[in-house]
Chains A and B, each alone.
Chain A
């Protein structure tokens, strides 16, 4: 049972490049989330998906897009990377609010 799998684990981008962060869960969870974690800022919600086919903005959505491809997969896309998007990105999923989140191992992204 892999839980939540994120790829890649590390990435360096040049300003203006695009990339997609992949996330898949095998726990049959309904809800999936993308957070970024920056020093001194804590975890901030970028986008979330309460169910297959639905997505909503979180606290810091600018510069990002998401796709809930199916119940298992939730991807995060940076169309034109900026240095301000240098961060650690975590994908998470949950069955219901009573169970808390299961996090992936994270993607450490550096934009130069």
Chain B
């Protein structure tokens, strides 16, 4: 079973700060990388995806991918209390559509 590792946290940042979430994966054949946000008691929702090495920005969110280091990260700028949630990193298994999920990092943004 291919693995996706995330720091479980909790990660606590003050409102307005940058939150940095990290993920490493073991399958060198992985081609697509996703970040999901999951509020307590709710289902995961897709917030970012990235396929190529480098950075991808969408509003306050930036995803970073380094395939050589097998590393994916998510930066949240100007963090808001509404960003408080668990963030799941997910990676495709080889060339398939199956996703392997990390266990998630719980983020708390303090007002």
Listed in ascending order, the chain A residues whose CB lies under 8 Å from chain B are 31, 33, 35, 40-45, 48, 50, 58-59, 90, 94, 96-106
> A97: shortest Cβ distance to chain B, in Å?
4
Lowest 9 A-B CB distances belong to which pairs?
A42-B103, A97-B97, A103-B43, A43-B101, A100-B46, A100-B34, A97-B32, A97-B92, A106-B43
Contact call A59/B1, Cβ cutoff below 8 A: yes
Listed in ascending order, the chain B residues whose CB lies under 8 Å from chain A are 1, 31-32, 34, 36, 42-46, 49, 51, 88, 90, 92, 95-104
Contact call B97/A94, Cβ cutoff below 8 A: yes
Known contacts A48-B98, A59-B1, A98-B51; A42/B104 CB under 8 A: yes
> B68: shortest Cβ distance to chain A, in Å?
21
Q: Taking chain B's interface residues, is the majority helix, strand, or loop, or is none over half, making it mixed?
A: loop
Contacts of B42 in A (CB 8 A): 105-106
A-B pair number, CB within 8 angstroms: 57
Contacts of A105 in B (CB 8 A): 42-43
20 A-B pairs (CB sep. < 8 Å): A33-B99, A41-B103, A42-B101, A42-B102, A42-B103, A42-B104, A43-B44, A43-B88, A44-B101, A45-B98, A45-B100, A48-B98, A96-B97, A97-B92, A99-B49, A101-B34, A101-B99, A102-B46, A103-B44, A106-B42
> B20: shortest Cβ distance to chain A, in Å?
20
- Choose among A44, A97, A102, A103 the residue that contacts B96 (Cβ–Cβ < 8 A): A97
- Choose among A35, A43, A103 the residue that contacts B45 (Cβ–Cβ < 8 A): A103
Contacts of A33 in B (CB 8 A): 98-99
Contacts of B49 in A (CB 8 A): 98-100
4 new A-B pairs (CB below 8 Å) besides A45-B98, A94-B97, A98-B32?
A: A40-B103, A43-B101, A45-B99, A59-B1
